[in-house]
C-alpha cells in the first residue's frame, strides 16, 4: 500500500520547528512527515512554502515568522548561508555548542546506546579561525573574480570577507586577485575548459605568520609568471612560499598532481603543541589550530601515557598527533596512505628531534593487519579517520592486538556511533564521557574524543 505524503509541492503551511538536522536545517513535522527548512530554529512558528516532496520527507522555504527563537542572531549576512560558508551563523554561539553536544547524544540514543556527552569545548572568538583558504576564480561580466560557489551550484558569488577565515588570508586573496587582473591572466572557464587560473589557495601559520600562496592552474606556466611572482612578494611581505599546482583535467577535484615552487621554499612552518611542523601545499593540516591544540591535548590526556607505552597512530597525516604523543610514550608507530604526508611526517620528526617515531605509507587497515601479524603489541591505539570512519578490518585488527585503550578522534558522529558498536562487540567499552570539540564554529561539523577500554 502506497502511503501518500500529507503535503504537496507549493503548499503554504503554518508550522512549529521542533529540531535541527545534523546539517543545521530546521525540522517541522506535518502528521509525522518531516519537512526540512533552511534558516529555521527550534521553537519558531513559521509560515512555510513546500518546495520538494520525496517519499518520506520534504523540503520547504520559510516565508514569514510568527515567533522567533531567543537563540536567533539577526544581523547576519545571507551570503554566508547561500555559499554554505557559515550555515549556523543565525544560531547564537552557546546554542551552537549545545546543538553539537545534542547531535552526538541523539545519534547514540537512536542506536540504543546510552552514553554521556560532555559540553562542547568552544572558542572565545568563533569567527576568523581558518588558517587555510581555497577559493575558486572565475570571470564574471568580463572581470576576474574570487569568491565562493552558491550552494549546490557552480555559480560564483564574489566575496572579499569570508567571515570564518584569518583576515590576513582574506586580504591576501584580494591582493592576488588584483594582480591577476593587472597582468590580464584569464580565469578558468569550466564550460569551454579554457583559461588559466582555477583556484587560489592560501595557507598562513597561526603562530609563525608564514604565508604560502598556491596558484592552481590549467596550464604548465602562467602568462607574465615572473612579474606576477615578483609583485606578490612585494604586496605580501609574509609570503615565504609561492607554488604553482597544475590541474589540466576537466574535473571538480581542486588540485592536480604536479606542484612546482615558484618562489621561496616548498613548505611553510607553524607550531602546534610546542612542536614545529613543515606544511606543504598538499599536506593535510588542521585548519583551526587553536581548537586542534585542545582536541589533541584531550586525546593525549585520555591516553594516560607514562612514558612506557607503545602507541599506534592510524591516519597520522604529517605526524601532528604522533609527535605530540611521542613526547609522552616509549615509541609511536604512525601510518597514512598519502606518501607526501609521510615524507612531511619524517621531516617533522627530525625537526623536533624525536627519534622514537616510525612512519609507514599504507592504507591504515592494511598496515594494522601487518603490524598485528608482526606481533606488534600496542598499549594504546589512536585513530583519527576521515568522515567515512574506520574500515571494519581495521577495528578487527585493533581488537586482535588487544590494546588497553583506543582513543577515537572523530569528525563524523554517525560513523563514530557505528564504529563504537563494532568495538563493543569485540570486547571494548566507552570509558567516561565523550568530549565534543568545536573545530568548525558557524558550521554543523563537530569533532569529538571518545575513549574505549578493553573489558
Helix axes 167-182, 225-235, angle to 10 degrees: 150
Beta strands in 169-266 (DSSP E): 197-204, 211-217, 239-246, 258-264
Is the per-residue pLDDT at 244 higher than 70? yes
Q: How many CB atoms lie within 10 A of CB 271?
A: 15
Is the per-residue pLDDT at 403 higher than 70? yes
Per-residue pLDDT, averaged over 112-139, amounts to 96
Q: How many CB atoms lie within 10 A of CB 42?
A: 17
Tell me the domains of the chain and their CATH numbers.
Answer: 12-70 (2.40.50.140), 132-266 (2.40.50.1070), 288-454 (3.40.50.150)
CA distance 437 to 204: 22
Known catalytic residue at 411: yes
Q: Of 439, 417, 189, which is closest to residue 291 (Cα–Cα)? A: 439
Strand partners of residue 67: 45
* H/E stretch holding 361: strand 357-361
Q: What does the DSSP assignment read for 132-178?
A: EEEEEEEEETTEEEEEEEPTTS--EEE-S--SSB-HHHHHHHHHHHH
Q: Give pLDDT, residue 252.
A: 87
> Of residues 202, 390, 411, 417, which has the active-site annotation?
411
Strand partners of residue 332: 311, 357
In Å, the largest CA–CA distance within the chain is 71
**Secondary structure class of 374 (helix, strand, coil):** coil
The cell 590576513 sits on which residue? Answer: 168
- Residue 76: pLDDT band (50, 70, 90) is confident
User: Do residues 92 and 71 lie in contact, with contact meaning Cβ atoms separated by under 8 Å?
Assistant: yes
Percent with pLDDT over 70 in the chain: 99
The cell 556511533 sits on which residue? Answer: 417
Using one digit for the tens of pLDDT, what is the confidence trace for 192-208?
999 999 999 999 999 99
pTM: 0.91
Is the per-residue pLDDT at 2 higher than 70? no
Q: Which residues contact 353 (CB under 8 A, 6 or more apart)?
A: none
Is the per-residue pLDDT at 1 higher than 60? no
Amino acid at each position: 500500500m502506497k502511503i501518500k505524503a500529507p503535503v504537496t509541492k507549493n503548499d503554504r503551511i503554518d508550522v512549529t520547528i521542533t529540531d535541527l538536522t545534523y546539517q543545521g536545517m530546521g525540522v517541522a513535522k506535518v502528521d509525522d512527515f518531516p519537512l526540512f527548512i533552511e534558516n529555521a530554529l527550534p521553537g519558531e512558528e513559521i509560515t512555510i512554502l513546500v518546495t520538494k516532496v520525496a517519499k518520506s520527507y520534504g523540503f520547504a522555504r520559510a516565508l514569514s515568522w510568527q515567533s522567533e527563537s531567543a537563540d536567533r542572531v539577526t544581523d547576519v549576512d545571507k551570503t554566508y548561508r547561500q555559499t554554505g560558508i557559515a550555515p549556523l551563523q543565525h544560531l547564537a554561539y552557546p546554542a551552537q555548542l549545545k546543538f553539537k553536544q545534542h547531535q552526538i547524544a541523539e545519534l547514540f540514543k537512536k542506536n540504543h546506546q546510552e552514553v554521556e556527552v560532555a559540553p562542547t569545548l568552544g572558542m572565545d572568538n568563533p569567527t576568523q579561525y581558518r588558517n587555510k583558504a581555497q577559493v575558486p576564480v572565475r570571470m564574471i561580466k568580463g572581470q576576474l573574480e574570487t569568491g565562493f560557489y552558491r550552494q549546490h551550484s557552480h555559480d560564483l558569488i564574489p566575496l572579499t570577507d569570508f567571515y570564518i577565515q584569518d583576515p590576513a588570508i582574506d586580504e591576501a586573496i584580494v591582493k592576488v586577485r588584483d594582480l591577476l587582473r593587472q597582468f590580464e591572466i584569464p580565469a578558468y572557464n569550466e564550460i569551454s575548459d579554457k583559461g588559466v587560473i582555477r583556484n587560489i589557495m592560501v595557507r598562513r601559520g597561526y603562530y609563525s605568520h608564514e604565508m604560502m600562496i598556491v596558484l592552481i592552474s590549467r596550464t604548465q606556466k602562467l602568462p607574465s609568471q615572473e612579474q606576477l611572482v615578483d609583485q606578490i612578494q612585494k604586496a605580501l611581505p609574509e609570503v615565504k612560499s609561492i607554488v604553482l599546482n597544475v590541474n589540466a583535467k576537466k574535473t571538480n577535484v581542486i588540485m592536480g598532481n604536479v606542484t612546482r615552487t615558484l618562489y621561496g621554499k616548498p613548505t611553510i612552518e607553524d607550531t602546534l603543541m610546542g612542536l614545529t611542523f613543515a606544511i606543504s601545499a598538499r599536506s593535510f593540516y588542521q585548519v583551526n589550530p587553536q581548537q586542534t591544540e585542545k582536541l589533541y591535548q584531550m586525546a593525549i590526556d585520555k591516553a594516560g601515557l607514562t612514558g612506557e607505552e607503545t602507541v599506534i597512530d592510524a591516519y597520522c597525516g604529517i605526524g601532528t598527533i604522533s609527535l605530540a604523543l611521542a613526547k609522552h610514550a616509549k615509541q609511536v608507530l604512525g601510518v597514512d596512505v598519502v606518501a607526501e604526508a609521510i615524507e612531511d611526517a619524517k621531516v617533522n620528526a627530525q625537526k623536533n628531534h624525536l627519534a622514537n617515531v616510525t612512519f609507514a605509507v599504507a592504507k591504515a587497515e592494511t598496515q594494522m593487519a601487518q603490524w598485528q601479524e608482526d606481533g606488534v603489541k600496542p598499549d594504546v591505539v589512536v585513530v583519527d579517520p576521515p568522515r567515512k570512519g574506520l574500515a571494519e578490518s581495521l577495528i578487527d585488527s585493533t581488537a586482535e592486538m588487544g590494546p588497553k585503550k583506543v582513543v577515537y578522534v572523530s569528525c563524523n558522529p554517525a560513523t563514530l556511533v557505528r564504529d563504537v558498536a563494532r568495538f563493543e562487540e569485540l570486547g571494548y567499552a566507552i570509558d567516561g564521557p565523550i568530549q565534543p570539540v568545536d573545530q568548525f564554529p558557524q558550521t554543523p561539523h563537530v569533532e569529538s574524543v571518545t575513549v574505549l577500554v578493553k573489558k
